[in-house]
Amino acid sequence: MPRTPGDGLTRSGLLVLFTLLVPCIHLAAADQRGGSLSVEPSLLMPMGPLGQDYGAAAQADLDFDLGINPGWSMIFGAGYTTLPNLVQKDNYLTLAPAWIGLKSKAQFRQDVEIFWDLALEGTYAKEFYQNSGSGSIETLDGGGVAGAGFDLWLSPSLLIGTEVKAHLVVEGRDVYPFLQWGLRLGLRG
């Protein structure tokens, strides 16, 4: 059964992202129990068989944390990265994950919060050649992400922190793991 570039998956990808984000925005307006908004420059490392073909790259994340109570938050966010092919220097793999899940958090000291989180994740992926080709392949995969880290509260409204995430992208019966380490800088409420 022939398939053509894209397969209309870009449209379905946007639909899933929209479906993920709309309820979260609604919750943000309704919930006034704190949380945070942070940007997270990070390093994404493909593991497993994909790690033999593609190298690590910088990833930019945007993380939202909506406090449910002092111990739990609802989280959602999205990221973007482009991994370089280690062998074919003109080939790249763009990944744009978006996730929604729960975060458990606890005060370690007065100004330090440790946490772990677990989320469902959808990942838009696109493989392409930058200079020597015109084609591309796109897809949308499901999966999950688990993370753990800590935040340091610099002031009542400013935080910095670090987090390690393990992304598991599911494609058919195969699971493709990615490891991410990031530094968080954000506003908390």
131 in contact with another protein (CB under 8 A): no
Among 62, 170, 179, 185, binds another protein (CB under 8 A): 170
- Which amino acid type is present at position 62? L
Determine contact, residues 142/98, Cβ cutoff 8 Å: no
Containing 21, the helix (H) or strand (E) segment is helix 9-30
d(CA 75, CA 40): 14
Among 42, 103, 176, 184, binds another protein (CB under 8 A): 176
Among 85, 116, 160, 185, binds another protein (CB under 8 A): 85
Task: Tell me the longest C-alpha to C-alpha distance in the chain.
Answer: 60
Q: Which of residues 12-41 bind another protein (CB under 8 A)?
A: 12, 15-16, 19-20, 23
Among 54, 64, 150, 153, binds another protein (CB under 8 A): 54
151 in contact with another protein (CB under 8 A): no
169 in contact with another protein (CB under 8 A): yes
| Angle formed at CA 61 by CA 58 and CA 67, multiple of 5 degrees | 150
d(CA 169, CA 149): 21
Among 32, 142, 157, 187, binds another protein (CB under 8 A): 142
141 in contact with another protein (CB under 8 A): yes
CA dihedral 106, 107, 112, 118 (to 10 degrees): 0
The residues binding another protein (CB under 8 A) are 1-5, 7, 9, 12, 15-16, 19-20, 23, 48-50, 52-54, 85, 87-91, 93, 100, 120-122, 125-129, 132-143, 169-172, 174, 176
